[in-house]
């Protein structure tokens, strides 16, 4: 089985050819990603109109390059899998419209894939991870703890009630007049911190549930920046370090609770915590999560960094996982908001048929 994956949900235009190899293993034949970071840097974040325009300008070239690099012919494709949500409406329309036209010409099936499912199943591209497993998903737009029970079967334990962690990193970096994306910037600056007496809140750390909140933390950071002006470099480093320590404390508190809940629900050998999304690139966050997980006798698993950020290989792989489970594809509807767990999939007024 050979699938073309297309991903245009945010600020990467990506296309990938993925093959189901021997024994069901994943073979990535190509995975082309055109990043728009340089186009959004001056704005300190993603501008939806600029993102959509860039997708329009690049999608045909990206798809063509993915096919060329894979060495396949178009007639070899069995299906096309395309991100149809959640994400920025303009980008989703570009990807889905292109995929539908291509599938129509080739007369092959098309599958609409939840972008979050792509992240949730990425680890199975590179490791033989069995269901169920505990997933910490942290991207630019989402911060969630889930139990991945099977393909198309997810239980959301907790989510952010306001801002996602990736967004918080971006806003902190912007408040310090530094670049986008904020994750790598804040991490690098935090490494230069010395001992300091700054103390930020740990939002919802004692709430007893598994939800996250980062808007108040962003406000506390902004307040400290304004109070400390003019801000020297060392103070900026210390602010980043305390912000990151606050984030880690909250994540570890919620993860520990989720692990206990998972243990109560499942009696399995060698349980796994899977870390997905851009946060996997943060060395301090990863090492902290690894320590807590292994202390609870859970394996910690993370995909290679290039598969943790947005890419089309994970979308193609989700298509393969769905097809071999014979999960029927419903008519594709673009969903800018699309919870991964079915019980929370309430139809949005902004769902779009293309």
CATH of the domain at 270: 3.30.420.40
81 forms beta bridges with 5, 111
pLDDT at 113 over 50: yes
CB 159 within 8 A of CB 300: no
What pLDDT sits at residue 134? Answer: 98
Within this chain, do residues 283 and 310 fall inside the same structural domain, yes or no? Answer: no
**Quick one: DSSP state of residue 78?**
-
- pLDDT tens digit sequence for 50-100: 999 999 999 999 999 999 999 999 999 999 999 999 999 999 999 999 999
Within this chain, do residues 262 and 311 fall inside the same structural domain, yes or no? Answer: no
Give the three-class secondary structure for 114.
strand
Within this chain, do residues 148 and 257 fall inside the same structural domain, yes or no? Answer: yes
Q: List the domain range (segments joined by +) for residue 264.
A: 129-302
What pLDDT sits at residue 345? Answer: 53
Within this chain, do residues 256 and 163 fall inside the same structural domain, yes or no? Answer: yes
Average pLDDT of the chain?
94
- pLDDT tens digit sequence for 256-305: 999 999 999 999 999 999 999 988 889 999 999 999 999 999 999 999 99
- From the DSSP assignment, how many helices (H) and strands (E) are in the chain? 12, 12
- pLDDT tens digit sequence for 206-260: 999 999 999 999 999 999 999 999 999 999 999 999 999 999 999 999 999 999 9
Give the domain-ending residue among 286, 302, 318.
302
Give the three-class secondary structure for 212.
strand
19 forms beta bridges with 2, 27
What pLDDT sits at residue 336? Answer: 96
* DSSP letter string, 142-198: -EEEEEEEETTEEEEEEEBSS--HHHHHHHHHHHTT--SSHHHHHHHHHTT------
Burial class (CB in 10 A: 0-12, 13-18, 19+), 119: buried
Within this chain, do residues 111 and 148 fall inside the same structural domain, yes or no? Answer: no
Within this chain, do residues 77 and 204 fall inside the same structural domain, yes or no? Answer: no
Residues 6+ apart with CB under 8 A from 85: 9, 92, 112, 114, 115, 334, 335, 336, 337, 338
Q: Tell me how far CA of residue 87 lies from CA of 9, 11, 17, 91, 113, in angstroms.
A: 5, 10, 22, 8, 12
What pLDDT sits at residue 351? Answer: 60
Tokens of 177: 């007049």
CB 340 within 8 A of CB 116: yes
Give the domain-ending residue among 302, 327, 344.
302
Within this chain, do residues 295 and 251 fall inside the same structural domain, yes or no? Answer: yes
Within this chain, do residues 291 and 339 fall inside the same structural domain, yes or no? Answer: no
Within this chain, do residues 183 and 166 fall inside the same structural domain, yes or no? Answer: yes
**Quick one: DSSP state of residue 77?**
-
Within this chain, do residues 290 and 349 fall inside the same structural domain, yes or no? Answer: no
- pLDDT tens digit sequence for 148-197: 999 999 999 999 999 999 999 999 999 999 988 999 999 999 999 997 78
Q: What's the domain count of the chain?
A: 2
- Percent of the chain predicted with pLDDT > 70: 96
Give the domain-ending residue among 302, 319, 345.
302
Tokens of 339: 């919870």
pLDDT at 349 over 60: no
How far apart CA 181 and CA 43 sit, in angstroms, is 11
- pLDDT tens digit sequence for 14-63: 999 999 998 899 999 999 999 999 999 888 889 999 999 999 999 999 99
What pLDDT sits at residue 180? Answer: 87
32 forms beta bridges with 15
Within this chain, do residues 200 and 94 fall inside the same structural domain, yes or no? Answer: no
What pLDDT sits at residue 344? Answer: 60
Within this chain, do residues 115 and 158 fall inside the same structural domain, yes or no? Answer: no
């Amino acid at each position: 089985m050979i699938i073309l994956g297309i991903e245009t949900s945010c600020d990467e235009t990506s296309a990938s050819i993925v093959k189901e190899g021997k024994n069901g293993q994943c073979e990535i034949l190509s995975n082309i990603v055109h990043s728009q970071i340089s186009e959004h840097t001056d704005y300190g974040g993603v501008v939806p109109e600029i993102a959509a325009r860039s997708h329009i300008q690049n999608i045909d070239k990206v798809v063509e390059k993915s096919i060329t690099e894979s060495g396949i012919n178009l007639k070899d494709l069995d299906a096309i899998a395309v991100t149809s949500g959640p994400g920025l409406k303009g980008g989703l329309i570009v990807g889905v419209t292109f995929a539908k036209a291509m599938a129509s010409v080739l007369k092959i099936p098309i599958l609409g894939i939840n972008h979050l499912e792509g992240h949730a199943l990425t680890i199975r591209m590179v490791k033989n991870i069995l269901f169920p497993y505990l997933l910490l998903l942290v991207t630019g737009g989402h911060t969630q703890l889930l139990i991945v029970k099977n393909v198309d079967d997810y239980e959301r334990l907790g989510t952010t009630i306001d801002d996602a962690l990736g967004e918080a990193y971006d806003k902190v970096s912007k408040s310090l007049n530094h670049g986008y994306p904020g994750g790598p910037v804040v991490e690098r600056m935090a490494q230069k911190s010395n001992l300091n007496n700054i103390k930020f809140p740990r939002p919802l750390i004692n709430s007893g549930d598994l939800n996250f909140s980062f808007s108040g933390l962003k406000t506390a950071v902004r307040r400290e920046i304004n109070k400390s002006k003019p801000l020297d470099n060392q103070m900026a480093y210390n602010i980043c370090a305390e912000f990151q320590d606050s984030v880690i404390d909250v994540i570890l508190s919620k993860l520990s609770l989720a692990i206990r809940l998972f243990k109560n629900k499942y009696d399995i050998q060698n349980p796994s915590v899977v870390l997905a999304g851009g946060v996997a690139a943060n060395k301090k966050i990863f090492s902290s999560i690894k320590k807590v997980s292994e202390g609870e006798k859970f394996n910690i698993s993370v995909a290679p960094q290039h598969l943790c950020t947005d890419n089309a290989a994970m979308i193609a792989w989700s298509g393969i996982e769905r097809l071999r489970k014979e999960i029927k594809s419903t008519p594709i509807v673009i969903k800018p908001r699309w919870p991964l767990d079915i019980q929370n999939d309430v139809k949005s007024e902004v769902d779009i048929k293309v």
